[in-house]
Homo-oligomer: A and B are copies of this chain.
Amino acid sequence: MLKGFTAPRSPLGIAALVPSPPWHFAGDVLAVEFWNDPDISAHILPTGVELDEQCRGRSVALFTDYQFTAQNDEHLDPARYQCRGFSILLDAIWKGIPIAWCPYCYVDNDAALMRGWIQGYPRKLGTVHQTRTFAAASLASAPLVHDGRFSACMSAHGRLLVQAGVTLRERAEHLGGMLDRRIVGRRYFPRLSAGLHDKPAVDELVRCVSGHPLITNVWIGEGELNFPEAYGEELEMLGPLKVGRGYRFSFSYSVTDIEVLADLTA
């Protein structure tokens, strides 16, 4: 019997690109809220999802730097299971419910790329960096203090796609409404059979179900954000007209489930 949550399925089930859930994540985030042009960003939404009229174009640019484990101490295999990612989340409405729509997402790791597709995140490979904070005092250690400065960037295939900065102003107990919407994505797996290239085998709107979400070490300040134009990408069309607050925090959560909102193949 072949085993494994994903391909390659194998006799022992340890060759699979993605191990079986539950999946656990712990990491650090640098985030910047911004507003893009709603007349443009409305066009990134699939049928059934609409911009949130209360906050047209409000979005978050999210840089993550995290460690992953499933059931086999994957965090003790850091070459395979540490990951850095970048996502955009756009305030939207699905059937009257506020959601965060994820139009673009990049990670630096193959297991995370495929895990994303399974979760409905449209991931591509990107190279992602953010300034880190270290325990020992130094000009190099970027402490979490008032006026502390952090940067982040993301590139793919040698093109810079996002550049961000955050200047910390004050420690906070919570994110104050930022990231309080459930993330909705789209699981999409095409057919290759002739004549069926536009009839995907899987096309579902899905909502993430996060277990044990935990946010800590929250700092809030001012953000900077820029999406340089790059050949072969459409990210810059969602670029900021206005930039808001910046955030730096640590997080953890688990994933074992997903909620299918709609089957779009029907």
Contact = CB atoms under 8 A, between A and B. Distances in A.
Interface of A: 2, 5-12, 14-15, 17, 20-21, 24-28, 43-44, 46, 66-69, 73, 75-80, 82, 103-105, 110, 113-114, 117-119, 122-125, 127, 129-132, 134-142, 149-155, 157-160, 165, 186-190, 192-194, 197, 201-202, 206, 209, 212, 214-217, 230-235, 237, 250-260
A44 B11 contact: yes
A103 B155 CA distance: 26
B73 A138 contact: no
Nearest to A258: B192
B140 A8 contact: no
A127 B142 CA distance: 24
B25 A140 contact: yes
A131 B44 contact: no
Contacts of A25: 138, 140
In the complex, which of the residues A157, A159, A194 has the most CB atoms of chain B within 10 Å of its own CB atom?
A157
Contacts of A127: 79, 158
Contact of A66 (B44, B140, B217): B140
Given A5-B190, A129-B78, A192-B119, A67 B140 contact: yes
Given A124-B110, A153-B158, A189-B202, A82 B141 contact: no
B151 A11 contact: no
Give the number of times this chain occurs in the complex, counting copies. 4
Contact of A135 (B5, B14, B217): B217
B237 A9 contact: no
Nearest to A213: B136
Contact of A136 (B6, B10, B122, B250): B250
A157 B128 CA distance: 10
Nearest to A202: B201
Contacts of A209: 194
22 contacts: A2-B44, A9-B46, A9-B186, A10-B234, A15-B104, A25-B138, A26-B134, A27-B134, A66-B140, A67-B134, A67-B140, A68-B140, A78-B151, A79-B129, A110-B110, A118-B190, A136-B250, A136-B252, A137-B214, A159-B160, A160-B230, A193-B257
